[in-house]
Structure 1
Amino acid sequence: MRIRRGSAIEIPTRTRHRTSRRLWVAGAVALSLPLGLTAAAQGNASSPFGDEPELLQYEEQFLTLYETIKDPANGYFSDEGIPYHSVETMIVEAPDHGHETTSEAYSYLIWLEAQYGQVTGDWGPFNDSWALMEEWMIPSSDEQPTNSGYNPSSPATYAPESTSPEDYPAPMDPDVPVGQDPLADELASTYGTDDIYGMHWLQDVDDVYGYGAACGGTAGDPTFINTFQRGPQESTWETVTHPSCDDFSSGGENGFLDLFTGDEAYSQQWRYTNAPDADARAVQAAYWANVWAGEQGNASQVAATVEKAAMMGDYLRYSMYDKYFKEIGDCVGPSDCPAGSGKSSNHQLMSWYYAWGGALDTSAPWAWRIGSSYAHFGYQNPMAAHVLSSDAALQPQSPTAVDDWGNSLERMIEFYTWLQSAEGAIAGGATNSWEGHYGEPPAGTPTFYGMFYDEQPVYHDPPSNRWFGMQAWSMQRLAEYYYTTSDERAGAVLDKWADWVVSEVTIGEGGDFQIPATLEWTGAPDTWDPASPGDNAGLHVEVTAYSQDVGVTGSLANALSFYAAASGDTAAQETASGLLDALLALQDGQGISVPEPREDYARFADEIYIPAGWTGTMPNGDPIEQGSTFSSIRTFYEDDENWPQVEAYLNGGEVPTFEYHRFWAQADIAIALATYTHLFGAEE
């Protein structure tokens, strides 16, 4: 990493002396100040920061950015208080409209409010953020009405995945054996309900698509929707956005169901998909809220919310299971791979999703549940696994939950070690179901407890491990875990990773900086042997592009801060503070942003695969048929104030450039500011 202050200088030689500093203990700000009164308000003379005014500035900047985010005039929230994916509506990423939102955004709100409580001693916003999430992003009982019809001995009917959307709808095959669900009865007995306490991942906050009135809902209300359903090659640009509750009021004859699965008959139904990394982030934030509130003498104020976080962690165990509850390891052939029993289908990692659904007709209830066979390193959260297995306030109530999370923690640490490249970056992940249909992997594919190495788990357009953000997000959690536990296994991974990432960061004057943006991978890890791990000398990464992605930069600064606090690594600490300074130089009236050219918006014209003979309509009347494009089934975009830039580009004009204010990104920066102050606020 190079920091330029007028002329280029190198970061001082890194040192790692764990005992060389006494870190400021959690909660010191609120313990030393009256509730609601920050060090900034009292003045530097009475602050705990001594002669380090830059730390005071970071706390002030946290509060300034927090107020910017929360200011209704800046447009980050709906009338209900739900955080939008972004202030701007013309944005296509995993969410295909800016005023959709994700479980990720809700989890970032919870984390942001936990930090606000740490700084000010006010825990009302933290509790409110959890209540908001519970009200709007966890399906209520009437939104998952037929769980009573679920049979844990027959969780779901098998349907093969394919690498191409053109192979869908996928035929249902009831003859393929599926395993037993070992969690359902335990959870129902523990909590007295068959309902699932987990977030669905995607919501149309403003009901832009118009699915709000389906299934007896109210038009205009925040509405659960879904997109990706047709294999790893289906990018956002090739999706058909559809309702999570399908009563056949739009779409085709069978609503949208027969675009995705092939069956003899279709029933009106509800179905939800959980993004486990978001639920785990919410648990992670609840842990810190409990620690900080406890150190302030305010633990009772957050106790009820923390108890709900423990319950969420209980249900989050569904992410540890193979999609069809088949046995883990060398699972080849849909019918040959044995059905699991007990915990034999538990891969002990956090997979890409779990999902559940059922009939709308309560007079003839049936329901299904699936896990996921794909585990991406970027979704692992050892900090959440640690607290769910060892912290009395966060340990779930179910009899086997604590052991499950303890086992998962050990497996996650091994997973990071197995996937670390020769340079230090972490590679993709592993799957128990090659190409989603328990296929035969190429000869020589390395394995991890019998699961097959997958360079790009889950999606390929673009490859899921190309984006550097996965490195920052996941390693922040590992660094938190290392800081909390001093586990040297995590430290060994982080030492190598930090050396690599610091060497790839450049910081100059003001807002002049760059971090990695995209990565290219070659080779593969060694097959995992826990008794004698390999050195992965044949697994390599190369940074192929750099960027100023402000949200990822905030997350990276957070990760390096925790790592530096745990290890005494001065280069990591300098890099974290340098990145925060650079971000603060990029403030505008709505937060922190940079211009983003969007060459990919040429894909507004991408054709969406629709099977021959299939026709239907979107709620606004847009036809769905062969030849439909991303934009032709989303004509509401033509009314967006930024559409003319995209339209001109599609007609041969210049690449459109926008300055986006994503909620998660602003929250990530604010959290990093508070984190740095919290960790380095006092010296011996």
Structure 2
Amino acid sequence: MRHRSWRRKAASAVAAFLVAAGLAAAPSSPAQAAVACEVTYQKTWDSGGGFGANITIRNIGDPLTGWTLTWTFAGNQRVTNMWNASHTQSAATVTATNAPYNGNLATGASVTVGFNGTYSGTNTNPTSFALNGVTCNGQQQQQALVVTPTSVAVPEGGTATFSVRLQAQPSANVTVTTTAGSGDSNLTVSAGATLTFTPSNWNTAQNVTLAAAEDADNANGARAFTVASSGLTSVTVNATEADNDSTQAQALVVTPTAVSVPEGSTAIYSVRLAAQPSGNVTVTSTAGTGDNDITVSSGASLTFTASNWNTAQNVTLAAAQDSDQANGTRPVTVAATGLTSVTVTATEIDDEAPANSYLTEFTTQYNKIKASASGYFSPEGIPYHSVETLLVEAPDHGHETTSEAFSYWLWLEAMYGRITENWAPFNNAWSVMEQYIIPSAAGQPGGQTTYNPNDPADYAPEFNQPSQYPAPLSSTVTAGQDPLANELQSTYGNRTMYAMHWLLDVDDVYGYGTGRTGAECGDNTQRVTYINTYQRGPQESVWETVPHPSCDTGRFGQSGGGGYPPLFVQGSTAGQWRYTAAPDADARAVQAAYWALTWATEQGNQSQISATVAKAAKMGDFLRYAMYDKYFKNPGCTSPSCPAGTGKSSSAYLLNWYFAWGGDIQNQWSWRIGSSHNHGGYQNPLAAWALSPAGPSALRPLSPTAGADWQQSLTRQVQFYTWLQSDEGAIAGGATNSWDGAYAAPPAGTPTFFGMAYDVDPVYHDPPSNQWFGFQAWGVQRLAELYYVTGNAQAKAVLDKWVAWALSETTLGSGSSYQIPNEMTWSGAPSASFSDPDGTPGPNPNLHVSVRNYTTDVGVAAALARTLIYYAAKEGNTTLGTQARTTAKGLLDRLLLLKDSRGVAVPETRADYNRFDDVWSSSNQQGLYIPSGYSGTMPNGDVIQPGSTFLSIRSFYEDDPDWPKVQEYLDGGEAPTFTYHRFWAQADFAMALADYGTFFPNG
């Protein structure tokens, strides 16, 4: 389902254009603070119909506690969106008012406002600005050194770089020198000690390279370097040697440290050592004072040796059946001689009935999911994608997992806290998420200290067929500026990204963790490994992927140490790492945190989850990368040479399909990219609202511009739903800023959304990305929550039409019989292009949808029910609200009749499993494509070469207990039928029960 991309980093230039306004001052009113100001207007891009600009206001008068800037365009320019201020426009006059976080402007302080706009004819810069009604004097931009970053880690025996440029265009050449100060003499300047900037290259970043000599100590020395130029303020860069001689300290690694034990059942946690011991280590688990129903039933004493120290061993806790309705707790101490002990908090999950039958069923379903016997969780406490292992869809194995599963787990535990007032499982879910699927600082070698926001990545086009890969890199296509990196570093003190990678091989089925030492990839885990699959354009289905490790050291893949990168990018080799975030999952985690905060606050328990909520706010801060074009190009890009973005001009303020980051293991280079493709089903306006100034303050991201970004995103997302709504009511595909993945020109007449072209199936085509009804239920459920929380009128208008359509396509039969839409067919397009930042898109009478077939899919039915529940809860007893409530109840009642020992499931016939042994064919461009000249092996010895198949590089599937059914099909028999228990589907069904039981306690 998800397409991902990596790009090797190299240098490129980003140019800016500066225009200063020369103006005269006017006297201020004597009854107010004396207002005096200087304004710099800097046009950042201009495509001939669209443009962007930054306006810097410097207060040279009395301190201000609020400000309003006005100016008048000379032509028909219109501002479409603005950041760091809110705006209105009347004819040619624009009024910009401070954001909540930048209204206080001290004497001498400055603030920069950025915007995108449209025009026709001549785009003349405005020549007069007024601050709080007082005309400002113009000022040329002040000269300064721009150094990024100012703190670098230099690996011992390696190098690291920082970049230097000038802030403004000089009138003559400027020489910049970097000299070493006192400190660790192993740290030296190896290149770039003297740099020259000219009036033509002043804004092109140049690199200074620092080196760290090998030594025998275990210290991480430091040294200050001074970057200086005559007449300018110098900048200090603090360099730290990253020593490679130290050994990891011994410790107990226990996961998770909070477990829920269903009454009458068991739960597990795992134990391993952090480092190889010199002799045997005995680890004991001892139950302390608390609920005596909870006991250690196995694993009370474990032995770790020099050979098995890194293999997780399980401790099983049991909860005896009792007659009370309490959820008792008991601490369990995990200890070993000479090591710091770890406390595991165990909570009994009571199975006595709560308030009504739907809440009772929630508890029953929750207990099934959490019971160790059900098999939803790994020994580490990680939710698998599914209980069953033979499953190929977005993940290519059932015991992989996704950031999607983690986000549903967090949401499930928030719902559990809502019902029980026990918030320990919610906190634990985030802790496990942080430990395993949010890459640690160590897991991002070098910490992206070499990342240059003015040159975020080299360009490589996407292609429509996997057989067109590997893609060439180009250093001639200019990427835009990344406006978030420096702000995030200033806020959090480092360059480390805080986002979930989308895919884990939990059981290390592929074997990328086998024999790993951890020195190169930041951990010692031999089971849970970061992997990736999709890399080769929209036609690459899961059946045509080559799985590969996210940290590629060259141990596997191409013979000779090339690894897997040569399959995807020309000239790329192993020795690099990369992670990819799925924004819908990160946004769902924020959504879950919002509800946890809401429900805990209602209980007076918000302090119990304050630390976790703060982490969700941090995730929301970094999630803003999902708003940006892949190469930070401006909206409306129709050729690789289109204008590169500056400031926030390249933001679509939507949630795109992915963002990614990485670098080389030696920290010579690093990169970040967004995605140019935006899908209607990925939007999350409830999360945008929660992260905006209108949401709860506890969820507010710390970066100064984040709140305004999310406020803008909220408006833009709701407009996107409206623009994509078909005449029947369903939400169409999306929009792209990079047609064909290569910034091509879309077909003539294609309608646009803020410059991005309508795309019926953005991102992937096999199968088409908007034929699955699940994206309808997922995306609109979030809109329904926004409507429930805020009463947003535009959201209601979309929901009224969508709910009526969804109800008309849903059938409730007798007994457990029901059907909902499955696959859809689309025709037509939105009626008109739209770019009004404050407006509402009109109807689309020529955009149509038809349902091609129907399904009983458990997860999608649950998501549909939840959408209808939130809509009905807000609508009350209106005709459509009553119908929505009745249909939601009908779906839940029928699903409850399909219960089994692990949850709720229905049989699925998998005709697509005939693709296990597809051989690539040039005639139909289907099958696993391996380019000529590539030859290598998977970790288990499976050969990767032209002619390989999905199965031949995954021969482990033939040992799966369910494989005979597939083999019979491949031999000419009937398509096999499976009954799957997907984690997200089981969790969503549980939450639908709790939603209904809470909103409608009388049934």
Map Cα deviations across residues 96-152 of structure 1 (whole Å, 9 max, x no partner). 000000000000000000000000000000000000100000011111012111011
Instruction: Verify the 8 A CA contact 2:689 2:711 in the aligned structure 1.
Output: yes
Q: Which amino acid aligns with 1:380?
A: Q
Cα drift, residue 613 of structure 1: 1.3
Partner Cα separation in structure 1 for residue 626 and residue 466 of structure 2:
24
Show the counterpart of 2:669.
366
Show the counterpart of 1:534.
842
Which of 690, 698, 703 is 1:393 aligned to? 698
Q: Which amino acid aligns with 2:512?
A: Y
Q: Which amino acid aligns with 2:615?
A: K
Cα drift, residue 681 of structure 1: 2.4
- Find the residue that maps to 1:282 and give its secondary structure: helix
Show the counterpart of 2:593.
286
- Find the residue that maps to 1:464 and give its secondary structure: coil
Cα drift, residue 533 of structure 1: 2.8
Which of 960, 970, 974 is 1:640 aligned to? 960
Cα drift, residue 35 of structure 1: 7.1
Correspondence 1:613 to 2:933: yes
Cα drift, residue 234 of structure 1: 0.2
Instruction: Verify the 8 A CA contact 2:351 2:363 in the aligned structure 1.
Output: no
Q: Which amino acid aligns with 1:584?
A: L
- Find the residue that maps to 2:698 and give its secondary structure: coil
TM-aligned CA distance change 1:87 to 1:42, over 3 Å = closer
Partner Cα separation in structure 1 for residue 983 and residue 633 of structure 2:
38
Instruction: Verify the 8 A CA contact 1:238 1:606 in the aligned structure 2.
Output: no
Which of 531, 534, 559 is 1:225 aligned to? 531
Mapping of residues 165-564 of structure 1, within 5 Å: 165-213=466-514, 216-217=517-518, 218=524, 220-252=526-558, 253=560, 254-263=562-571, 266-328=573-635, 330-335=636-641, 337-362=642-667, 365-389=668-692, 390=694, 391-529=696-834, 530=836, 531=839, 533-564=841-872
Correspondence 1:112 to 2:412: yes
TM-aligned CA distance change 1:299 to 1:183, over 3 Å = same
Instruction: Verify the 8 A CA contact 1:528 1:534 in the aligned structure 2.
Output: no
Partner Cα separation in structure 2 for residue 576 and residue 470 of structure 1:
18
Partner Cα separation in structure 2 for residue 639 and residue 213 of structure 1:
19
Cα drift, residue 527 of structure 1: 2.2
- Find the residue that maps to 2:974 and give its secondary structure: coil
Show the counterpart of 1:602.
914
Instruction: Verify the 8 A CA contact 1:40 1:60 in the aligned structure 2.
Output: no
Q: Which amino acid aligns with 2:389?
A: T
Instruction: Verify the 8 A CA contact 1:211 1:219 in the aligned structure 2.
Output: no
Map Cα deviations across residues 224-264 of structure 1 (whole Å, 9 max, x no partner). 0000000000000000011100001000041000100112x
Map Cα deviations across residues 481-512 of structure 1 (whole Å, 9 max, x no partner). 00000011000000000000001111122211
Greater relative contact order, per chain length (Cα 8 Å cut-off, separation 6+)? 1
- Find the residue that maps to 1:90 and give its secondary structure: coil
Runs of 4+ in 1 over 6 A off after TM superposition: 37-44
Equivalent pairs, count: 636
Map Cα deviations across residues 247-284 of structure 1 (whole Å, 9 max, x no partner). 01000041000100112x53511000000000000000
Instruction: Verify the 8 A CA contact 2:538 2:763 in the aligned structure 1.
Output: yes
Q: Which amino acid aligns with 2:745?
A: E
Cα drift, residue 513 of structure 1: 0.5
Partner Cα separation in structure 2 for residue 562 and residue 39 of structure 1:
27
Higher mean alpha-carbon deviation, 137-146 vs 308-317, is at: 137-146
Partner Cα separation in structure 1 for residue 525 and residue 325 of structure 2:
46
Correspondence 1:573 to 2:885: yes
Q: Which amino acid aligns with 1:554?
A: A
Partner Cα separation in structure 1 for residue 515 and residue 353 of structure 2:
55
Root mean square deviation, CA, Å: 1.7
Partner Cα separation in structure 1 for residue 401 and residue 379 of structure 2:
14
Cα drift, residue 220 of structure 1: 3.8
Instruction: Verify the 8 A CA contact 1:112 1:671 in the aligned structure 2.
Output: yes
Instruction: Verify the 8 A CA contact 1:155 1:179 in the aligned structure 2.
Output: yes
Instruction: Verify the 8 A CA contact 1:35 1:122 in the aligned structure 2.
Output: no
- Find the residue that maps to 1:149 and give its secondary structure: coil
Which of 129, 133, 137 is 2:437 aligned to? 137
Partner Cα separation in structure 2 for residue 230 and residue 671 of structure 1:
36
Cα drift, residue 36 of structure 1: 4.3
Q: Which amino acid aligns with 1:615?
A: S
Map Cα deviations across residues 7-26 of structure 1 (whole Å, 9 max, x no partner). xxxxxxxxxxxxxxxxxxxx
Cα drift, residue 219 of structure 1: 6.7
Cα drift, residue 213 of structure 1: 3.4
Instruction: Verify the 8 A CA contact 2:349 2:367 in the aligned structure 1.
Output: no
Gaps of 5+ in 1: 1-32, 48-55
- Find the residue that maps to 1:212 and give its secondary structure: coil
Partner Cα separation in structure 1 for residue 482 and residue 515 of structure 2:
31
Cα drift, residue 42 of structure 1: 7.8
Map Cα deviations across residues 336-367 of structure 1 (whole Å, 9 max, x no partner). x11100000001000000000011114xx321
Partner Cα separation in structure 1 for residue 733 and residue 666 of structure 2:
41
Give % identity.
Answer: 60
Partner Cα separation in structure 1 for residue 865 and residue 570 of structure 2:
47
- Find the residue that maps to 1:170 and give its secondary structure: coil
Cα drift, residue 83 of structure 1: 0.3
Map Cα deviations across residues 188-226 of structure 1 (whole Å, 9 max, x no partner). 110112100000000000000001137634574100000
Partner Cα separation in structure 2 for residue 588 and residue 266 of structure 1:
49
Higher mean alpha-carbon deviation, 396-405 vs 562-571, is at: 562-571
Correspondence 1:149 to 2:149: no
Map Cα deviations across residues 266-324 of structure 1 (whole Å, 9 max, x no partner). 35110000000000000000011011111111110010000000000000000000000
Q: Which amino acid aligns with 2:394?
A: A
Cα drift, residue 654 of structure 1: 1.2
Q: Which amino acid aligns with 1:536?
A: N
Instruction: Verify the 8 A CA contact 2:351 2:364 in the aligned structure 1.
Output: no
Correspondence 1:96 to 2:403: no
Q: Which amino acid aligns with 1:60?
A: T
TM-aligned CA distance change 1:358 to 1:39, over 3 Å = closer
Which of 149, 152, 161 is 2:462 aligned to? 161
TM-score of the pair, normalised by structure 2: 0.62
Instruction: Verify the 8 A CA contact 1:130 1:305 in the aligned structure 2.
Output: yes
Instruction: Verify the 8 A CA contact 1:424 1:496 in the aligned structure 2.
Output: yes
Gaps of 5+ in 2: 1-323, 329-347, 519-523, 920-927
Partner Cα separation in structure 2 for residue 43 and residue 143 of structure 1:
45
Partner Cα separation in structure 2 for residue 351 and residue 431 of structure 1:
9
Show the counterpart of 2:24.
none
Partner Cα separation in structure 2 for residue 176 and residue 412 of structure 1:
30
Instruction: Verify the 8 A CA contact 1:214 1:245 in the aligned structure 2.
Output: no
- Find the residue that maps to 2:530 and give its secondary structure: strand
Partner Cα separation in structure 1 for residue 824 and residue 386 of structure 2:
25
Q: Which amino acid aligns with 2:514?
A: A
Show the counterpart of 1:592.
904
- Find the residue that maps to 1:65 and give its secondary structure: helix
Task: Please identify which structure carries the higher strand content.
Answer: 2
Show the counterpart of 1:666.
986
Partner Cα separation in structure 2 for residue 435 and residue 214 of structure 1:
41
Map Cα deviations across residues 366-390 of structure 1 (whole Å, 9 max, x no partner). 2100000000010000000000002
